[in-house]
Amino acid sequence: MENFKFIAGQASSIKQYKNTRSKVLKCCANVYFNKQCLAKKIIPNYAKLKFQNTSPAAQLTSKKAQSTRIKDKIKFLLMKKDKLNCELYEHHLKLQKNGVECGISFKIS
């Protein structure tokens, strides 16, 4: 890989871009994890509910509440991902304006 020299203003922009990109990737991984949990009917620890009642109605309600909690988490993560993608796009445009390549190339055919 080639060594590039950047000025201080570019370095801070590159760091912001890199941090935002890592947040987007973590968010995507969390969405994938939660979708896999729903598909395989596995309840992660953060969604488990503990209560004393063991009646069939209470167990059914508990399962519904747990799956609803996972679905809400997925919705929250997707909104967060959209917000982060907008920030990432702004950082990308800022870097392109300063003449820094971000490693993302778009092919128009």
SS3 assignment for 60-79 = HHHHHHHHHHHHHHHHHHHH
Q: How many domains does the chain have?
A: 1
Q: Which domain holds residue 33?
A: 19-97
Q: Show the tokens assigned to 31.
A: 């969405």
Q: Residue 46 domain-assigned?
A: yes
Rounded to an integer, what is the distance from CA 78 to the centroid of its chain?
A: 7
pTM to 2 decimal places: 0.78
What is the separation, in whole angstroms, between the first and last Cα of the chain? 28
Per-residue pLDDT of 29-80, as tens digits, reads 999 999 999 999 999 999 988 888 888 998 899 899 999 999 999 999 999 9
Is-contact 103 1, C-beta < 8 A?
no
Interval 22-32 mean pLDDT: 96
Q: Residue 39 domain-assigned?
A: yes
What is the residue-averaged pLDDT of the chain? 85
Q: Residue 14 domain-assigned?
A: no
Give the position of tokens 């920030």: 87
Per-residue confidence (pLDDT) for residue 104, from 0 to 100? 52
Q: Residue 59 domain-assigned?
A: yes
